Amino acid sequence: MKRSEINAAIKNLEGLCLKFSFKLPPFCSFSLEEWKAKKNDYLEVMECELGWDITDFGSGDFEHTGLSLITLRNGNRNMPDKYPKVYAEKIMCLKKGQRCPNHFHWYKTEDIINRGGGNLLIRLYNSLENEEIDYVNRVKVISDGRVYYINPGEQVRLAPGESLHIYQGLYHEFIPEEGFGDVLIGEVSQCNDDHNDNRFNPPTGRFPEIKEDEPPYRLLCSEYNKL
């Protein structure tokens, strides 16, 4: 991804959070210079990879395959004594025409919440013992206290305020419903580990390669090593 694309995506998510009065923590607004001055006070942010996360999943086509995220809080399963939180929270944005690719998690369970904007469509499949997609068996849906079943590959529609529980091994792919605009998405989950707990099908990348065509507006959570 070009740095200019990343900067634009961050500003877009900032604007969406402002529109729906979703307030962000102070570290989300730090410049590179502020990070250098304050990094020793914010080790948890760096070591638990909180903050900005813009990705095209290695597609080279962020406008169609991409996601903008902020990890607001998180534990660290590799350092449980230092960071004992067993939960995580994210706020995310899918723009009109974008999709988040099909994947499941081995460890994490999560609730995906439509926080505002358009409608969110989430396509669901079970996974088989060999971790491939189950195209045969019906899928259990757990949504805001309601339990029901759908056919494999069907989409669950979340209007603003509605949520869906994603359990371990459940393949999910989500897109904004056409004609309803960008979606502000919340995630409440167990500890998040984007390096080791995503099973994409078909396989894809998770963090982008960055082409520097302008200065960074905000550091990404994958860039704290630059400090």
Q: What is the CATH number of the domain that holds 29?
A: 2.60.120.10
pLDDT over 90 (residue 226) = no
Give 53's pLDDT tier (boundaries 50, 70, 90): very high
Q: What pTM did the predictor assign?
A: 0.95
Model confidence pLDDT, tens digit, residues 102-116 = 999 999 999 999 999
Looking at residue 49, what is its pLDDT?
A: 97
CA distance 216 to 149: 45
Which token pair is 41?
Answer: 């006070």
CA distance 92 to 188: 11
Average pLDDT for residues 46-75, to the nearest whole number?
97
Model confidence pLDDT, tens digit, residues 180-224 = 999 999 999 999 999 999 999 999 999 999 999 999 999 999 999
Domain region containing 85: 3-226
Amino acid type, 48: C
CA distance 45 to 47: 6
Number of domains, the chain: 1
Model confidence pLDDT, tens digit, residues 113-127 = 999 999 999 999 999
Q: Which residues contact 121 (CB under 8 A, 6 or more apart)?
A: 155, 156, 157, 158, 174, 175, 176, 177
CA distance 103 to 125: 10
CA distance 5 to 120: 23
Sign of CA dihedral 195, 121, 6, 19: negative
